[in-house]
Amino acid sequence: MAASRRQRLGLWLVLCTCLLTAAAAVDADNDDVQVSGTGHDNAAGGPTVPPGTGEQGAGRTPETEDRRWEATQEEVEVVVEEVQQAGDQDQDQDQVVDPPSEPPSRDDFKEELVIRPLHSGDIYASFQFRTVWDTDFLGGQKVSHYRLFPKSLGQVITKFSVRELHISFTQGYWRTMQWGQPYLPSPPGAELWVWFQDTVTDVDGTWKELTNVLSGIFCASLNFIDSTNTVQPSASFKPLGIGNVTDHRFLRYATLPREIVCTENLTPWKKLLPCGSKAGLSVLLKSEKLFHSTFHSQAVHVRPVCQDPHCKTTSLELRQTLNVVFDLHTSGQGKREWSLFKMFSRTLTEACPLASSSKVYIDVTDNPQGEQFDLSPATPLLSQAGVLGDRRTYSVYDLTQQATFGPTRSLNTLLRWKSPEGDMLGPLLHSERYVAGYGLQTGEIHTLMYNNHPYRAFPVLLLSTVPWYLRLYIHTLTVTSKGKDNKPSYIHYQPSKDRERPHLLEMLLQLPPNSVTEVTVEFERALLKWTEYTPDPNHGFYVGSSVISALVPSVVAMDTNSTLERPLFNSFFPCKEETSYFMRIYTEPLLVNLPTPDFSMPYNVICLTCTVVAVGYGSLYNLLTRTFQVEEPSPGLAKRIANVIRRMRGVPPL
């Protein structure tokens, strides 16, 4: 180990000297250097500076760092090539060595698990893995060396000029009414939304390619995303990372409510983690337990974030989240207790060695004096965080501390309920959606939004995407709250085109305090071509969840500084003001039946209809081409035979 440190030091010295000589040259003609540097990079593909060597630049100002980077590429390439192998070996060893003691890294990995006992007796476990890569991806330069950031995703993001990418796969529906608000909401099925960079010219083509590539990466049917289920919301999906792009031409949003999530989606998702499923929190992710749950949702979010409080440089953040709700009533054999082993059939033995932070949070807000449940092993570490407008208290287990694991060298947190179910304050905002009406001709979509705040009204943005085969009639749109008409202050409606694009309805509504707001719109069910039905047509057609984005008044002041060190679970949605927080909820997807033709009949129908047309054509043809004539009865058979004989004999016929 001592040898490797010495080697690193040597490399650093070489770099510094080269840098000093190069700085002058760069000042002279910066552009040239950059061009040649990039050109070389593209051509050679291989020899770039190993990240281990560049790490120390973090203390400098970004400008000099960039310059050093460029200079390094041009001037030091020989040196770099010489030391490349040594550096690589160095780095590999380095990673196995104690990670927290590592100097500030160009990419940083954190992992955390939040466990929240729900009042219904279920357990909500939320994993978050965050990789932040201090690289200027958006600048368009080619990056070919990857360390913690998964290369497969990085290449996709560079190739398709993606600014932000959010993808989630969910099995089951999050019951806001019973479970409260999730840390990261997601609709049932698959959801994908992408902000492209404004350099993309053919957004639709890029989107099509991207969905196909992602479908391969995640082994999901994302290739079913086409123009008929893609929309461009104008207000509901703002970029979550930095960059005030508001031109929604570069945004694409699609859901596949029918997508089924299973092991084959989990495996590629786990492969994106630096530690795979070998170490750290990800050892808990065993599919046989994860999919034996009431709710399972896994997501990948890529976005540019600020590197420092002044936001001079950007980093690329990859967040992988996995949320799961276990129903312990059914699997707990009547006892209300759970432990990590019971949930995941594994215990924790170590943190991921590549992670700079690895923590387990357990929400103990409702249990200040321990009257609700017992938690063992007890931890002295408590943490408070403002989550979703509320201040919550968490017991924290820091996995990077050996003490956490105790003498057994494994952590198996156990929670045992004492009292039966407590009651929970209902969520401030929740929603319901259903289809009303009977028969297969028309119907009505009802969306109910509940504002449970006793005295504050707040605005919500409702986004509904309805497939083209349910023809919405926008003039039947009614919005009522408390029995009165509630006129939306903003409506963005895009009518559907048959077989081309879906309906998109976006509305900005003010929800009065303590009220139910009902949005209804009528639709007509279309009869499709027989080849357009799914193989199980009488199962029905899914309509994706509506998205409700709201600024909900918070109970406690929210932290608006996004760069401060915070637990991952409350730092996803940027918070703009202290008095309210952003919240997104998804309604139920709908299952709608359409009238069906008889699928066994194509030949019969073609024959019968053509027959009718032929009857029309034939009878007219008959009347048009023939004329009326007096019928001369044809002679009888005997006479005709006699005539034939007579003709042969040469005698005149009868």
- Out of 20, 311, 557, 620, point to the residue binding another protein (CB under 8 A): 620
Cα separation, 203 vs 241, in Å, equals 20
Q: Quote the least distance from Cβ 621 to another protein, whole Å.
A: 8
- Should residue 654 be labelled a site residue for another protein when binding is judged by CB under 8 A? no
- Decide: is 526 part of the binding site for another protein (CB under 8 A): yes
In the range 395-414, which residues lie near another protein by CB under 8 A? Answer: none
Q: How far is the CB of 492 from another protein (least distance, A)?
A: 9
Token digits of residue 552:
């909900």
Stretch that binds another protein, among 327-335, 390-398, 498-506, 583-591 (CB under 8 A): 498-506
Of the candidate residues 3, 378, 564, 624, the single one contacting another protein (CB under 8 A): 624
When asked if residue 629 is in the footprint of another protein (CB under 8 A), the reply is: yes
Residues 155-174 that bind another protein (CB under 8 A): none
CA distance 378 to 337: 16
Nearest CB to another protein, comparing residues 15 and 462:
462
List beta partners, residue 383.
394
Asked if 144 contacts 41 with a C-beta cutoff of 8 angstroms, the reply is yes
**Residue 591 makes contact with another protein by CB under 8 A:** no
The three-state secondary structure class of 649 is helix
By CB under 8 A, tell whether 617 contacts another protein. Answer: yes
Q: How many residues bind another protein (CB under 8 A)?
A: 53
Task: Write down the least CB distance from residue 464 to another protein, Å.
Answer: 15
Per the DSSP assignment, residues forming a β-bridge with 442 are 524
* Residues in contact with another protein, shown as a per-residue x/- string from 269 to 308 under the rule CB under 8 A: ----------------------------------------
Does 31 bind another protein (CB under 8 A)? Our answer is no
CA distance 205 to 479: 37
Binding residue for another protein (CB under 8 A) from 615, 641, 644, 645? 615
In the complex with another protein, the residue whose CB is nearer, 12 or 490, is 490
468 binds another protein (CB under 8 A): yes
Task: Say how far apart CA 487 and CA 509 lie, in whole Å.
Answer: 7
Taking CA atoms, 584 is separated from 16, 135, 635, in Å, by 49, 30, 92
> Residue ranges of the alpha helices (H) in 141-234?
151-159, 176-179, 203-217
Of residues 595, 641, 646, 651, which one binds another protein by CB under 8 A?
595
Residue 578 CB, nearest approach to another protein (Å): 36
Q: Is the peptide bond before 188 cis (omega within 30 degrees of 0)?
A: no
Name the segment binding another protein (CB under 8 A); options: 38-46, 273-281, 567-575, 600-608: 600-608
CA distance 291 to 28: 60
> Whose Cβ is closer to another protein: residue 333's or residue 625's?
625
* Closer of 309 and 595 to another protein (Cβ): 595
Binding of residue 12 to another protein (CB under 8 A)? no
Residue 158 or 442 having the CB closest to another protein = 442
| CA nearest neighbour of 165 among 102, 254, 67 | 254
**Residue 100 CA neighbour count, 13 Å, CB half:** 10
Own/partner pairs, 488-491, CB within 8 angstroms, 24+ separation: 490/235
Backbone angles phi, psi at 444, to 5 degrees: -145, 130
Nearer to another protein, 368 or 439 (CB): 439
Give whichever of 425 and 605 is closer to another protein, judged by the CB atom. Answer: 605
**In the β-sheet with 373-376, what is the strand arrangement from edge to edge?**
337-339, 414-417, 373-376
Q: Does 310 bind another protein (CB under 8 A)?
A: no
Question: How far does CA 242 lie from the centroid of its chain?
Answer: 18
Cα–Cα distance, 570 to 551 (Å, whole number): 15
Q: Does 473 bind another protein (CB under 8 A)?
A: yes
Task: Tell me the backbone φ, ψ of residue 478, rounded to 5 degrees.
Answer: -130, 140
The correct pick among 436, 591, 601, 645 for binding another protein (CB under 8 A) is 601
User: Residue 619's CB: how many other CB atoms inside 10 A?
Assistant: 10
Nearer to another protein (CB atom), residue 348 or residue 594: 594
State how far the Cα of 100 lies from the Cα of 357, in Å rounded to an integer: 8
Count of CA atoms in the C-beta half-sphere (13 A) of 220: 32
388 Rama class: left (phi>0) / alpha (psi -120 to 50) / beta: left
Binding mask 528-567 for another protein (x = CB under 8 A): xxxx------------------------------------
**Residue 428: φ, ψ to 5°:** -65, -35
C-alpha neighbours within 13 Å on the C-beta side of residue 541: 19
Q: Which of residues 440-459 bind another protein (CB under 8 A)?
A: 440-442
Stretch that binds another protein, among 126-134, 396-404, 519-527, 579-587 (CB under 8 A): 519-527
Q: Which of 20, 44, 474, 641 binds another protein (CB under 8 A)?
A: 474
Q: Which of 2, 103, 333, 475 binds another protein (CB under 8 A)?
A: 475
Nearest approach, Cβ of residue 512 and another protein (Å): 24
Does 573 bind another protein (CB under 8 A)? Our answer is no
In angstroms, the CA 19 to CA 190 distance is 48
Q: Smaller CB distance to another protein: residue 12 or 599?
A: 599
Which residues sit at the interface with another protein, rule CB under 8 A?
438-442, 468, 471, 473-475, 491, 493-499, 503, 524, 526-531, 595-598, 601-602, 605-606, 608-609, 612-613, 615-617, 619-620, 622-624, 626-632
